[in-house]
Amino acid sequence: MTRFFDLRPDKKVWPLFNGDFDAAPKWGLPGIKNCPGCGATWSNWGNHYPAVDLSGLPDRGEFEEARAEPFHEFVRLRELVRPLVPKNSELPPGTSFGPLVGRASGQFAPFSGLDCCWIVVRRDAFDSLQAAGVRGLLGCKTELKFRQKTPPDILELQIEPRGLLHRDCLPPDLAPPCTTCGRQGFKLPDDPILDEASLPTDTDLFRVANYTTVIIGTDRFKDAVEQGGWAGISFRELPVRA
């Protein structure tokens, strides 16, 4: 039976690696301003597709500034990018695309970025995971500018939303998602439970679709990281419930 683990930054490696970056995705959908269904002004964090290139869109400039827009304008922009993203992607407000752009410096751990809900991985660790048979890995180039003359070879992983948190770990009085914008606001439970029926069987790395800042790895992913001696990730096993 497959086991599932919440992936978090391993703070023990910080004294050993001083790599750091200040970056943001190149493009993004705007947030929603005053949703006509629920009234909320909001934007999601965690839906990120670094492999999706918007440079061919005539209106690409409209995806370069973070802002909130009326719902109808958000929908217009969302439909412009829909042909470029993986099939069945929900694309909530704030979904981002393209490489991380910014400055970086220092010696990077094999895995970093988890404190920002991304995974930036060194090429040697990425190749090791692939050789170990970890499924669903998609490594994407970044546009980080390093201060040192010989920058590290790093990639960002595209991690798509797949599984769900189980209803039993959510507030009992939780309202259903807004039928207009899809928003369902709740705090991440202290003890998350995964919904068994929703979990993917074809990938070893994914985000929780109803709380996309949570990144999940299977026991196959965990074993490959630990057997390779790759630092930067800590693992917390999560229960699964039917």
Q: Return phi, psi of residue 5, to 5°.
A: -130, 135
Percent of the chain with pLDDT over 70: 100
Q: Is the separation of the CB atoms in 233 and 10 below 8 Å?
A: yes
> How confident is the prediction for the chain on average, in pLDDT?
95
Q: What is the pLDDT of residues 25-52, one digit of tens each?
A: 999 999 999 999 999 999 999 999 999 9
**Residue with token string 């899809």:** 182
Q: ∠ CA(155), CA(80), CA(177), 5° rounding?
A: 85
Average the pLDDT over 83-107 and give the result. 95
CA distance 242 to 195: 6
Residue 133: what pLDDT? 97
Q: What is the pLDDT of residues 189-229, one digit of tens each?
A: 999 999 999 999 999 999 999 999 999 999 999 999 999 99
Is the per-residue pLDDT at 13 higher than 90?
A: no
Average the pLDDT over 65-78 and give the result. 97
CA distance 222 to 131: 14
CA distance 21 to 113: 9
* Host H or E run for residue 112: strand 111-112
CA distance 151 to 225: 23
Average the pLDDT over 131-137 and give the result. 97
Average the pLDDT over 149-178 and give the result. 95
Residue 49: what pLDDT? 98
